[in-house]
């Protein structure tokens, strides 16, 4: 596992003081929504997802960070069910996504169907908490980001079945969605209590900085997760795409992606310096500063957390077998709400 590499991301480490509170809140929230049993949740918490959330949202208050950690744990539970054979079967991926996609198509004002699976009902709770104080325009934009992310496993499974992405640019067309950076930028606005005006968000400089943030998160994550994904037979990882399409060996592919990270970060810093002239007149200086701070926090988290978490070192997670058992139950029953429940002997109190 190449987690001992240095990515050279220069943004300072800022971690929320509310990490412990957020983790305790998510344990109660996940139990209330019957998302997983106690041991399966321990497997998630061993991955230090609360630390990741605290790095991504260092300026959130206690309630905002708890919401962010609920979202991150939910994302892990949802995404991990597509590990292995299911992630290479578009029909199976579509089946597992169907119930949630039907809800998401009703955004920005969805309702839970009767007997909704716990993961779907929990997502609805998250959506209402994220979007409740935001404008209709913001909700519509955030809804599009969620719709794309939730459909991501279907598109990725089709790529895997076809033998993998054609090249790195082809790969990034989907990966820039599935890394969820745009969703986290939305959550940064929601927990920060501001909305970036469309004129600022749509400016070329800010759009380029958002793309840089996304790509840095992608490349850092791909480097750190490549061995576990390769072991699962995955093709959709930037390192694996480079190796397959350019003939680079592992060391060469790692150097290529780290070089891209360095160039992207330098471009981000250049754009940040030019923001006053690129975004004049800026109607919301505080919102723009907060948005740039969130982008830096996401890149820092991709560096610090991805290189440290046992999520990509499964042999260091003593609770993994229970988590895999839970994933099998979830994956089997995602399309059948009455079955998607933690078995009684493993339910959280």
Q: In this predicted model, what pLDDT tens digit does every residue of 165-186 receive, in sequence order?
A: 999 999 999 999 999 999 999 9
Q: In this predicted model, what pLDDT tens digit does every residue of 106-121 receive, in sequence order?
A: 877 777 777 788 999 9
Q: What pLDDT, on the 0 to 100 scale, is given for residue 337? A: 31
Q: What pLDDT, on the 0 to 100 scale, is given for residue 282? A: 56
- d(CA 263, CA 265) in angstroms, rounded, equals 6
How many other CB atoms are there within 10 angstroms of residue 251's CB atom? 9
The alpha helices in 247-338, defined as continuous H runs, are 250-278, 285-308, 320-333
pTM (2 d.p.): 0.90
Q: What pLDDT, on the 0 to 100 scale, is given for residue 342? A: 33
> Can you list the domains of the chain with their CATH numbers?
19-346 (1.10.600.10)
Q: What pLDDT, on the 0 to 100 scale, is given for residue 280? A: 59
Q: What pLDDT, on the 0 to 100 scale, is given for residue 328? A: 63
Q: What pLDDT, on the 0 to 100 scale, is given for residue 284? A: 67
Q: Which residues of the chain have pLDDT under 50?
A: 1, 331-349
How many other CB atoms are there within 10 angstroms of residue 83's CB atom? 15
Closest to 232 in 3D by CA, of 79, 38, 342, 37: 79
| Residue 123 CA from chain centroid, whole number | 14
- d(CA 230, CA 168) in angstroms, rounded, equals 17
Taking a C-beta distance cutoff of 8 angstroms, is the pair 184, 148 a contact?
no
């Amino acid at each position: 596992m190449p987690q001992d590499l240095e990515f050279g991301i220069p943004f300072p480490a800022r971690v929320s003081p509310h990490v412990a509170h957020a983790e305790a809140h998510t344990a109660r929230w996940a139990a209330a929504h019957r998302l997983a049993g106690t041991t399966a949740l321990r497997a998630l918490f061993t991955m230090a997802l609360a630390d990741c959330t605290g790095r991504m949202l260092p300026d959130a208050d206690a309630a905002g960070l708890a919401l962010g950690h609920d979202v991150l744990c939910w994302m892990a539970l949802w995404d991990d069910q597509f590990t292995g054979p299911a992630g290479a079967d578009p029909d199976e991926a579509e089946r597992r996504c169907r119930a949630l996609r039907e809800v998401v198509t009703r955004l920005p004002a969805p309702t839970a169907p009767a007997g909704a699976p716990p993961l779907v009902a929990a997502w609805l709770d998250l959506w209402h908490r994220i979007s409740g104080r935001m404008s209709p325009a913001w909700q519509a934009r955030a809804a599009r980001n969620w719709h794309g992310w939730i459909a991501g496993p279907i598109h990725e499974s089709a790529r895997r079945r076809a033998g993998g992405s054609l090249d790195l640019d082809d790969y990034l067309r989907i990966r820039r969605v599935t890394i969820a950076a745009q969703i986290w930028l939305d959550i940064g606005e929601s927990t920060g209590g501001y909305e970036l005006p469309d004129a600022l968000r749509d400016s070329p400089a800010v759009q380029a900085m958002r793309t840089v943030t996304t790509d840095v998160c992608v490349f850092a994550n791909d480097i750190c997760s490549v061995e576990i994904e390769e072991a699962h037979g995955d093709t959709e990882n930037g390192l694996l795409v480079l190796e397959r399409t350019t003939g680079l060996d592992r060391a060469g592919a790692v150097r290529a992606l780290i070089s891209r990270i360095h160039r992207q970060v330098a471009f981000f810093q250049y754009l940040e310096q030019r923001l006053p002239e690129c975004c004049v007149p800026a109607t919301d200086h505080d919102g723009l500063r907060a948005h740039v701070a969130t982008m830096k926090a996401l890149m820092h988290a991709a560096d610090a957390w991805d290189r440290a978490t046992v999520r990509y070192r499964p042999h260091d997670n003593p609770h993994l077998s229970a988590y895999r058992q839970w994933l099998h139950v979830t994956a089997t029953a995602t399309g059948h709400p009455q079955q998607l429940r933690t078995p009684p002997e493993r339910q959280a109190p």
